[in-house]
Structure 1
Amino acid sequence: MKKIFYMGTLLFSVGLLAAGCGSSNTDSSDNESPDGKTTLDFWSFWGSGARQEVIEEIIADFNASQDEIEVKYSYQPWGDIWTKSLSAITAGNPPDVIVQDINSVAQRAEAQQATDLSEYVEDGFSDEFYPQLWETVEYEDKPYAVPFNTDTQVIFYNKQIFEEAGIGEEDLPQTWDELETVAHQLDVKSGDDFERIGFYPLWNLGADVWALNADDGVSWFDDQENVTIDTDNKVEALDWILEWQEYYGQDTINRLEAEFGSGVADPFISGLVAMRAQNINYYSSLMENAPEDFDFGVIQIPEKETGSGHWSWGGGFVLEVPQGAKNPEASYAFIKYLSTPEVQEKFGEKSFDIMANKTANENLVNNDNLDEKGQMIYQMADENFANTVITPVPLTAPDYNSLVNEQIDQILLGNKSAADGLADAQKAVEDLVEQNK
């Protein structure tokens, strides 16, 4: 079943996928190299670290594997890549392949900024991908992109802190009530001040994820693109978040947030927080920054109540051929290569992204180049993705997210009740949809 909505945490998830700076740019105006090969200009924002290294290695492997196509890699800075690609498409000189946001494929297809790939995609090709990912690349039942990588939200927990508190594996929280109980067992106070917090739901997860989790995996839109903001379960989810906020106090939350940093200052690594909701490839940061003896585990986001489902959210990226690319068939040949289980496994092994190809992720669970923790991460990713919802933006409401977030902010500031705020958001988004029909 297709679930459609947009998540505020997308910016955080894509931030983990977007790495720094790197390669020089090339011009795709000349589509043939001096030796007669078709030259493709491939744009992405992977410009430093493991992702840059592995994508450049993969491109070199592709170029050496055949003698008809030569791919050149062009790094484009995060935040610039999509505005630059739009300008290039308008000017008639687009890149040949580009990494794009998974949630907005339909917008680009409708605007004729992406190429219809249906004449190149073979029957059965879509079966190689997680179904909720493939659904995002279709517009009017035709594919305009191919899924590349994705993510899912989970909870990391500090095993040493759990052991010291006498909380064993059998006591790991599975429901919201259990999450509260365990979190408060892990709290440490000095007088009226918290020195450690067991868990706070809005650190790295948005209220929209908890609303989804509470409401059978449906967030602001259902699978028929009906607006489903003002529901009983979502009101309960916002009220539940307010209870956490009241328990710890806004002053405490603000004080601890001010101490948050990155790298070795990470509050999870430092022990400031015992459980932290995160994108699953947060493991990469732990490998880089945590001490060697730092021990952690990963659990699914607890369900609202037993049987309601461990629903989570994921974002991700796709490979597209921009409209006007000079040789779409060659572009698709490269995209297909990037989508093979072997190449996807190679990228995942270095990045700890969840790959779009199901077989690649299954292989990573037993990949001999990964240690026990790495294999555990992919085992959890594969299991969790069954409950992970991807959220393409409805064509009828491309700008609705700001309307929802405005009301959520009012709720969290105490200016509106959860019921009133979500009712107002429902009406505002319904009005937007009506205007765009």
Structure 2
Amino acid sequence: MAAGSELLQLWRDTPTHKRVWAIALPMILSNISVPLVGLVDTAVIGHLDGAHFLGGVAVGSTLFTFILWAAGFLRMGTTGFAAQACGAEDGAALRRVLLQPLWLALLISLLVWLFQTPLLNLGLHLLDSSQALLDQARLYVGIRLYSLPAALANFVLIGWFIGAQNSRAPFILLLAVNLCNVALDLLLVVGLEWGVAGAAWATVISDYLGLLLGLALLQPILRRYPGQTDWLRALLLRGAAPLIRVNRDILIRTLALESVFYLLVVQGARLGDEVVAANAVLLNFLLLTSHGLDGLAHALEALGGHALGRQDKQALRKVLVVSTVWSLVLSCSFVLAFLLGGDAIIGLLTDLPEVRQQAGTYLPWMAVMPLAAVWSYLLDGLFIGASRARAMRNAMLAALLLYLPLAWSLQGLGNHGVWLGFLCFMLLRSLLLGGWFVHLWRADRWMARR
């Protein structure tokens, strides 16, 4: 009873609600625009004559997203350190945790460009799909790689903005990028009939425009936290050992997560072009869910990291309770929306009868997914804000090791087995990471400086 009374008191803290939604609402709106671009991509390509076009974009997007998400540490690692620097009011550290990840983004882009041919060949070799589908995937990825430096730099900027508790800047940046992407999709794919290549070029142009806008949005925050900018130290990565260790662990964690998504695509591809195209449609539901719930996770990252920088345990309790309850409300809203409007969304994405039929068959998995996934998004935000990447890495690797034999054992269920295995993986992530948080909290180790 006492615990329930304490939780209710934490929930009733109005200033915390305001702080959470000041960050979460702009991020939810801007994050939702990201999968909406995917919806537009899927819609314009899904109406071309042939499932191999849609399947090619799905596979190509997955391969390129694998690279982007593998470098997702550039955003996640930056957020935690930026939030803690703001909490400590350390302007010099805030500048350092911006410049060093930007430099790493450029180095990673150069490395991927250098090895792009063998990487692409490896990714496509593992797929047992039609040659027409693979050709479209190769075309798409080859063009998208031109945008890699801008896409990774935007990751850094968004993570830094979130850590500085400025949700307005990433909102403007993401909204501008995605609206530009939608407009260019319609122009290049529908208007000029460039097909898959048009969808890829639309994203390239949009990413570079977003980078220019993001750099322009830095100045107000830098003026708020004055400090020296040590360019040489940043470029030589001096003092970057904590950042590199966190980024290394997040990279391993993200590669494990991406391997699950890639396995999902591979399993679908081996069931036929129509199944992989249907799964591409259904993944848009998952993206809508994740980008919406990530808005509240971003608030937990920023406010949780800020509380850690100030060593304010009570503030962390408040933001954790408020973020959790609102995340549950939002996840239930997604469930209701998918149950009532899922078939209509599928109909908007493609007019291929066989793909629509397949997607409708497996739609119930998307309807229950938000309730299973919400916990992993929240816990990721909590651990990112505290820069506890090692725990995230270990929990993800353990979940992957448990998932692989499960996925193998479910092959006889076809595509239902693919989605059942993925649902179990999301639950495993949450149980493992949640258990570790409870252990650290009860041992009074969560607020220890790292």
* TM-score bin, normalised by smaller chain: under 0.3
Bigger radius of gyration? 1
| Structure with greater helix percent | 2
TM-score when scaled to structure 1? 0.24
